Chain A
Amino acid sequence: MTDPKNNLQEGDPETTGHEWDGIQEFNNPLPRWWLWCLYATIVWGVAYTIAYPAWPMISGATPGVLGYSTRAEVVEDIARYDALNTDLRTQLTDVELAAVTQQEMPDLYNYAIQSGRSTFATWCSQCHGRGAAGVQAAGYPNLLDDDWLWGGTLEDIQMTIAHGIRNEEDPDARWSEMTAFDEILTDEEVSQVVNYVLDVSAQEADATLVAAGEEVYLNNCAACHGDNAMGDRFLGAPNLTDRIWLYGGTPEAIEETVRYSRFGVMPPWSGRLSDAEVRATAIYVHSLGGGE
């Protein structure tokens, strides 16, 4: 420690009294305005913790005297935006679905797409995937392609969303059920019909089995899938000649379907979602590239 008055010239401030290798440090005080700013921030800090929620307690934080809550603010915000969209929503429930196009009604179309997108992400993406491509192994249909079991027009899609597929909660649900042929057909007949299906869908098949398979098919399957195996939308019976397979198109997957059948279920949404939301979701799904 050195004498703070050491080595100083007249007018110099005092030093802090520390010395490093002969270098001393001036004790230059902070300007007063800075000090006042510091005091002001302290006062501000105290006032803030009194006015607003601040200190963490065991359950929750101190509420603050102003009664501010982010949650309440969010609720308010949502209500405000809801109110802003009321017009669009009523319009969406009233208008004919096919009329909502980007060219004719850009605002309504835009609203429907945005609203449909978020509804889809919240309720539909769990099964159909975020990008709506479905999950083949589990039988969740790909909504992007051009093949629809029950139809791909706006009305068809809306109907499916509103009432679902093969669920017992909604009497209007689309319904059909494939027979499990495990007990009905012999093992040989099963492999014949599987080869026949492979053949009609332009896949490699055993030619001798195919001929016999046609017989089996016409007797057992054609009632729903049609004589030409093109399926029947009224029954939700898939087209067997195209390249799209809900549960996979390998011989094993087809055999599994023939023996034990499939039973894909989709819940009805009309109770849980508003009319406008169902319609918006239909418009959104229709816009993904597969709409008819």
Chain B
Amino acid sequence: MASTDTPPKLYKAQEPIFPKRVTGTFRNLKWAIMIVTLGIYYVTPWIRWDRGPNLPDQAVLVDMANRRFFFFWIEIWPHEFYFVAGLLIMAGLGLFLFTSALGRVWCGYTCPQTVWTDLFYTVERWIEGDRNARLRLWKADWGFRKWRLRITKWIVWLLIAVATGGAWVFYFADAPTLLRDLLTGQAAFVAYGTVAFLTATTFLFGGFAREQICIYACPWPRIQAAMMDEHSITVAYRDWRGEPRGKGKNRRVVAEKAIADSRLAGSLVTGQEPGSTTTASPDIQVLGDCIDCNACVNVCPMGIDIRDGQQMECITCALCIDACDEIMDRTGRERGLIDYLALTDEAHEREGNKKVPILRHILRPRTLIYTALWSAIGIGLVVALFVRSEIDLTVAPVRNPQFVTLSDGAIRNTYDIRIRNMTAEDTVFRIGLTSEEVLRVDLEGSQDLMVEVPADETFLQRVYVIARPDDPAASAERTDLRFWVEEFGTTERAYQSQTFFGQVPQ
């Protein structure tokens, strides 16, 4: 091993990044997405929804204490957790779909880390100025002005962070009540803890850790990379068009030479492959479209140079596209030196073919299959939502002992029936049994076969099923039966199948 003068450092300090302000299509799209997503996040808990008495009037509420999830007109009970599971599967498939079609769009546009970091950068730019001013400030000594700007910035960040952490807890309790409790110091410890924790993480992640989270802490970049293929769209630099890059001065030198040598006129910018040398003068190289202005580097929030090729750090936020397009407009060249591309475009375009439309990359069997699966689950969930019944029961047989012999020789089995009244009123339910045998049903602690279940509650009722000694069920090993529960006065029934165990004669 060759000796090095200084041993390599094991730890690397964060390199400060000062992204420059940029304008353009994608920047506007990002603004729009930021406003919509943050708006939804902050406003949703405050939307009211009248569900009648005894039920919360918050449109979206995760009610941990009563184990209910309210979403506008939909109410999910714990036993309906398959809805949540279905949504999670849809989220997963959606991620496959978007990643295989559009690469890391999630990272670039909607990831909370990206959105809040972007918001924090906006505040920073607004208080400390754009890239150059911030660079100067960073290098400046810690004087009054620097402290003032820094502290102002931190305070605004902190306000945003508190609002963010605060918004989260409102999803778990009645928002107006909780806000009052939070302000008067009466809220639960877990509420303050959650607000404090989310405030701290928002402040640190959005304000200081920034790209470090994306590069070191987040597993998505690795996973997403595995979900992409050569047709996936990603942000890339058309090096076959841009290289060799050259700054304005070099360009002028080349241009002057070209003009001096009339034989070379016109070869600089048109009609020649970038990088080729002119036949007349081999020391004159035709430059590509990149003028090496570094605009793309200066706007990158990840601090990378996209012209170096695909990089793990790139979150495909497309800001470099906006920056470079502006330069291309100014130099009078075609836009898209940096662009959304698929890997297959390189070979294709290098051969001089026309660009492949983005839609052609997106619509391919893989994405269509994902879309089909995704929609199938979505339709399934919607159907399930409409056909689910408002009463529900589960029957748990008591199997210790399997059966009890009564004094007249009858055989009795015991079951615990859990009835869920998902309506908004106290309801009387009738419990009954369908079976081929004539079996008697008895309810513990009740004379008739009715139970009243309060609105929106679950009720546990012990039920006995008795087979007379001469009933075949009394001596058969197992007999199938079906419990039903019916809302009194209606014919809507919910069923549950069970087994009756008898005493087989030896």
Contacts and interface: CB of A to CB of B under 8 A. Distances in A.
A146 B14 contact: no
B412 interface: yes
Binding site secondary structure of chain B = loop
Contact of A289 (B8, B10, B400, B444): B444
A171 interface: no
Given A3-B2, A32-B13, A142 B404 contact: yes
A145 B11 contact: no
B470 interface: no
Nearest to A245: B405
Interface in A100-159: 101-103, 129-131, 133, 142, 144-147
A34 interface: yes
B212 A33 contact: yes
A128 B153 CA distance: 72
Contacts of A3: 1-2
Given A4-B1, A31-B216, A243 B408 contact: yes
A75 to B, nearest CB: 23
A131 B2 contact: no
Interface in B216-245: 216
B100 interface: no
A289 B407 contact: no
Contacts of A289: 404, 412, 414, 444, 462, 464
A142 B9 CA distance: 77
A242 B216 contact: no
Nearest to A142: B404
Contacts of B4: 4-5, 14
Nearest to B14: A31
Given A30-B12, A129-B400, A131-B400, A242 B209 contact: no
Nearest to B400: A131
Nearest to B7: A14
Q: Which of A28, A35, A131 is most buried by chain B, counting CB atoms within 10 A of its CB?
A: A131
B245 to A, nearest CB: 15
A147 B407 contact: yes
A4 B2 contact: yes
A1 B1 contact: yes
B8 A27 contact: yes
B405 A244 contact: yes
Contact of B407 (A31, A33, A243): A243
Given A17-B1, A34-B216, A239 B407 contact: yes
Interface in A1-32: 1-5, 13-14, 17, 27-32
A287 interface: yes
Contacts of A1: 1
Interface string B27-61: 00000000000000000000000000000000000
B14 A32 contact: yes
A55 to B, nearest CB: 30
Interface string B370-399: 000000000000000000000000000010
A4 to B, nearest CB: 6
Contacts of B445: 101-103, 287
Contact of A32 (B12, B408, B444): B12
Contacts of B401: 129, 131, 133, 142, 144
B91 interface: no
A243 B406 contact: yes
A33 B12 contact: no
A102 to B, nearest CB: 5
Contacts of A131: 398, 400-401
Contacts of A133: 400-401, 404
A242 to B, nearest CB: 4
A243 B409 contact: yes
B366 to A, nearest CB: 30
A289 B445 CA distance: 9
Interface string B189-215: 000000000000000000001001000
A103 B2 CA distance: 87
A131 B398 CA distance: 9
Interface string B399-422: 011001111110010100000000
19 contacts: A3-B2, A4-B2, A5-B2, A27-B8, A28-B12, A29-B11, A29-B12, A30-B10, A31-B12, A31-B13, A35-B11, A103-B445, A131-B398, A146-B406, A243-B409, A244-B407, A287-B445, A289-B414, A289-B462
Interface of B: 1-2, 4, 8-14, 209, 212, 216, 398, 400-401, 404-409, 412, 414, 444-445, 462, 464, 469
Interface of A: 1-5, 13-14, 17, 27-35, 101-103, 129-131, 133, 142, 144-147, 239, 242-244, 287, 289
Which 7 A-B pairs have CB atoms at the shortest separation, nearest pair first? A131-B400, A242-B407, A29-B12, A133-B401, A243-B409, A3-B2, A1-B1
Given A4-B8, A244-B405, 10 more contacts: A1-B1, A17-B1, A29-B11, A31-B12, A32-B12, A130-B400, A145-B405, A145-B406, A242-B409, A243-B405
